Every structure is written in structure tokens, then in C-alpha cells.
Amino acid sequence: MRYTLGGYLISETHKSIWRSRMSSFLSCGTTALALFLLGVAILINLNLSHLFTDVQSQMEIQAYLTMEASEEDAEAAIQVAQALNGVAEVRYVSREEAFRELQEMFQEKATVLEGIENPLPASIRLTTFRPEDVPDVVARLREIPCVDDVIYQEEASRNLAVLGRVSQVLSLGGTVIVGLVAITVIGNSTRMTIEARRHEIGIMKLVGATDGFVVGPFVLTGIVLGMFGGLLGAGLSVGLYNYLTGSLESVLPFIPILSLTRGTAINIAGILVITGVAVGTLGSALSLRRHLNV
């Protein structure tokens, strides 16, 4: 005979999952699907930020100073630029440096430039943390008196910002919708178990079981199903990602795809399992509240 409380909880949870294995399987599967999508969303976002960093490094804002700008003017402009919101890096390129760059570009034909007086102005080159910060930074730079002109890839930065936002909204929206479906399916499975065990629950309450004791196995069942859903979703998303990136890298080597480190994969799995547990707890708790009046 088994009388211990822990033993009771485990055995009741096991029984409840086994007795209604079809609905348990369905709950676990739906949760896994939701968390697979969340995993995909996380991976897409990680890749986008990787891509942004990659593109942003090539997407500099160049603020050209007037030819008359003194070193003090340049120094003041740099300080203003550094204090701007969203600015990641600021680099000053003097007239001489700019001319040297030009000479390097011409390489062996650099002789063409011999004897010519340096026509290039000094400039401040900046990068931002996020592409959506670019227009604001550009506008501020234009307000600096010694700044003559500001050049940047306007359309590229705008497109990147829109792409980032759309992908975030789509992936998170999809996750939320499937997550709600998972909560409903787990809730429904809990309701069916409650119906099947109504007689037993009645007797439990009659002999003095607290609400906590009655709902314990139901909540634990939800947690276990959510946790397995999370593990399954993590395995699927990380496994599929590794498989796809492996094949893509050989076909399209120029696309900057993020390769997952062990640590990142564990973090993603952790997030998905914790979310799965939350989905399971929420689904069973909502159903218990509605159908068991506890």
C-alpha cells in the first residue's frame, strides 16, 4: 500500500496521464508545436540581430565637416555625436586620413593624385545600435554648425528596421496564438480528467481533503505535459535549425547565418521548457477554477 503524500501525487499524475493518453498526447503535442514556433521565433530574431550587426558594420553614417572647420570645431562635433541617443561608435577621419584612403583606393594608379591639393573634407563616421535610430541621428548631425553634409544608406536602414519589426511581430504573434491554443487544449484535457474523476473528487472533499490536495495531481499533470511539450519543442526547433544551417552554409556560404553554440542552445531549451511549464500550469489552473470551483 502506498500512503505517502509525494508517492500519492506522483502515482495520481502518472495515472491521470496514462488513463487519458490520447488527450495527454494531444496536449503535449500542441504545446510542443507552440514552443517549436517560439523556438523558431527566437532563432529568427537571433539571426536578424546577427544580420543587423553584420550589415550595420557596413552601414556607416558619414557626416562631412565644412572645409573651414577647425580642430576645435571637429572636437565639439565629435562630442555632440557621441552624446546622441542610439549611437554605438564614433570615429573621426581627418582630411589627411581621407586622402590616404583615397590613395589606397586608387592603389597603383595613385600617381594620378600626385601634385593635387587634398580636396577632401574631414568627416565623422558613426554606427548606431539599431537601424531605426539612423534617421534621428542623421537629423541631429545636420543641426551641428560645422557639418556640411550627411550621407547614409537611407533606404537600407529603413528596410532593415521594418524587416526587424515585422519579423518580431509575426513570430511573436504566431507564438501567442498557438500558445493560447495549447493552454486551451491542456485546459480541455484537464476538464475531461475532472469529469472522469468527479466521483473520486467528491469523496476526497467529503473525507476532508483540502482544495490544494484535490488540485495537486491536476496541476502536476499540466506541468508535466507542458514540460515535455517544451522539451519536444526545443529538440525540434534546435535540431531542425542545426540541420538546415548545416545544409545552407554549403549552398549559400555568403549569407551570414548564426551557428548555435552549446550555451545558446541550452538557453533556448531552458526558455522553452519554462514557458511549457507556465503554459501547462495556466491551462490546468484555469480549467480547475472553471470546472472544479476551487
Partner 1 sequence: MRGVSKAYPGGMLALNRVSLDIRKGEFVFIVGQSGAGKSTLIKLLYREEVPSEGQVFVGGRDVARMRRREVPLLRRKIGVVFQDFKLLPDRTVAENVAFALQVTGYSGRDANKAVSQVLSMVGLRNRQNSYPGELSGGEQQRVAIARALVRNPDILIADEPTGNLDPDTSLEIFRLIERANRYGTTVVIATHARHVVDAMRKRVIELKRGSVVRDVRRGAYDD
C-alpha separations of 244 from 54, 239, 248 in Å = 21, 9, 6
Give which of 210, 146, 170, 188 is closest to 286, Cα–Cα. 188
Find the shortest distance in angstroms from Cβ 9 to partner 1. Answer: 11
Contact between 5 and partner 1 per CB under 8 A: yes
Contact between 4 and partner 1 per CB under 8 A: yes
Find the shortest distance in angstroms from Cβ 168 to partner 1. Answer: 44
Which amino acid makes up residue 96?
E
Contact between 3 and partner 1 per CB under 8 A: yes
Site for partner 1 in 198-237 (CB under 8 A): 199-200, 202-211, 213
Residue 32, exposed/middle/buried by CB under 10 A (0-12, 13-18, 19+)? buried
The DSSP letter of residue 112 is: G
Contact between 292 and partner 1 per CB under 8 A: no
Contact between 8 and partner 1 per CB under 8 A: yes
Contact between 195 and partner 1 per CB under 8 A: no
| Burial readout 102-131 (b: 16 or more C-beta within 10 A, e: otherwise) | eeeeeeeeeeeeeeeeeebbbbbebbbeeb
Find the shortest distance in angstroms from Cβ 199 to partner 1. Answer: 8
Contact between 1 and partner 1 per CB under 8 A: yes
| Burial readout 4-19 (b: 16 or more C-beta within 10 A, e: otherwise) | eeeeeeeebbeebbee
Judged by CB under 8 A, the number of residues near partner 1 is: 18
Site for partner 1 in 64-123 (CB under 8 A): none
User: Which parts of this chain interact with partner 1 (CB under 8 A)?
Assistant: 1, 3-5, 8, 199-200, 202-211, 213
